[in-house]
Amino acid sequence: MNTLKAWIDEHFKGDPIIWAIVILLSLFSILVVYSATGTLAYKTAGGNTEAYLFRHSFLVFLSLFVMWLAHKMPYRKYALYARLFMYLSIPLLAFTYFFGSNINEANRWITIPVINQAFQPSDLAKLSLIAALAAMLAKRQNNIKDFLGTFMPIILSIGVICGLIALANMSTAILLLLTCLLIMFIGRVPMKYLMLVVVVGILGLTIAGFTGQRGKTFITRITAFMESKEDDTKIPFQAEQSFIAIATGGITGKGPGNSEQRNSLPHPYSDFIFSIIIEEYGLVGGASVLFLYLALLYRGMRIVANSNKAFGGLLSAGLSFALVIQALVNMAVAVGLGPITGLPLPLLSMGGTSLVFTGTALGIILSVSRGDHQDEAAASQVETQRVGNRLRTA
């Protein structure tokens, strides 16, 4: 037993509670996705439900492996790569918008040759922008009020990335802009600059809404949500089926694999997987999932509070907010607290490369926790040696 504990301590460093939360949600994801893909399997895989089980399980374990690799790398190195990948993501986003695969009337995907796997450059852009923003703010903490030297590179980076994403995915762009504002607030950016970012962001998103592919859909969904609050007969079909799933789940649910709404609810394995969770596991299951995400945010913020480096704290805060805010928005849509967005539930929804990027983000958060612990241990050891030397010379 001691040998196993020593092996785990050596190879799995960082916050142990984050490890536990991620593993629990990942294993639960396999179970729920297997149940939710029954109808999809009959339509596309000839009734072979195990095809999606094996594919999703492979991607889940691949994301966990990527998380493990990411947490082994010292987090300071991510500052070196962040800007490079941010610059790389700009032409990728532009190429995707004009030449990417069109799904649901939006060009968001590039198909990777050889492995024939769809890839969303917006996932790379989100991760790299958050890391680059954290690095820029940490480097310029002493000159945080310098408009040209500090603020202009930041607002240009945010504006270009969010604008390109908004052309095909408005909801993702809005959440990314909100995450960047939170990072800047934590990074002591003056309030007048934050308000300028808000104004520029709203202007950019408005232009993208009128010129992009999904602007009309975004406005239609907001209008439909507002109308449904005034008239129950105007509830969108997806929301109505989601409400039925939640209402029939009760306190303890129908049991694993017993969902009925998966046969009529659009995208029950991704956008509305939270509805299937409540239908099968009841309010107990839904509340447990919500608690795990809030616990993940709490542990991420504890890393921020305990971090002794500005970059580590800002990086952990940005990635934690990005993951948990998306999860909260997805759950809010499922229960009717927000307009339909099409955002998946991180760690739980069936996905492709998005799972890998989620694993990378969590690995970076763990790397920050791991690095700060090592710095504290090294500082403590140096201080102990100094005290010992003083005692010997006294």
Q: Which range among 2-16, 92-106, 153-167 has the greatest average pLDDT?
A: 153-167
- Lowest pLDDT segment from 78-87, 141-150, 338-347: 141-150
Tens of pLDDT, residue by residue over 338-393, are 888 878 999 999 877 889 999 999 999 999 988 754 544 444 444 445 544 554 55
pLDDT score recorded for residue 79: 87
pLDDT score recorded for residue 394: 52
pLDDT score recorded for residue 388: 47
* Cα(220)–Cα(341) distance, integer angstroms: 11
Tens of pLDDT, residue by residue over 232-275, are 777 888 888 999 999 998 888 898 888 888 888 888 888 899 99
CA 117 to each of CA 85, 110, 111: distance values in angstroms, whole numbers, following the listed order? 20, 8, 6
* Cα(187)–Cα(141) distance, integer angstroms: 8
**Edge-to-edge order in the sheet of strand 101-103:** 101-103, 106-112, 117-119
- pTM value is 0.87
Residue 264, CA atoms < 13 Å, CB-side half-sphere: 11
**pLDDT of 142 over the 80 cut:** no
Q: How does 13-45 read in b/e, with b if 16+ C-beta sit within 10 Å?
A: bbbeebbebbeebbebbbebbbbbbbbbbeeee
Q: Which range among 38-47, 137-146, 336-345 has the greatest average pLDDT?
A: 336-345
pLDDT score recorded for residue 286: 93
Say what percent of the chain tops pLDDT 90.
34
Tell me the average pLDDT of the chain: 83
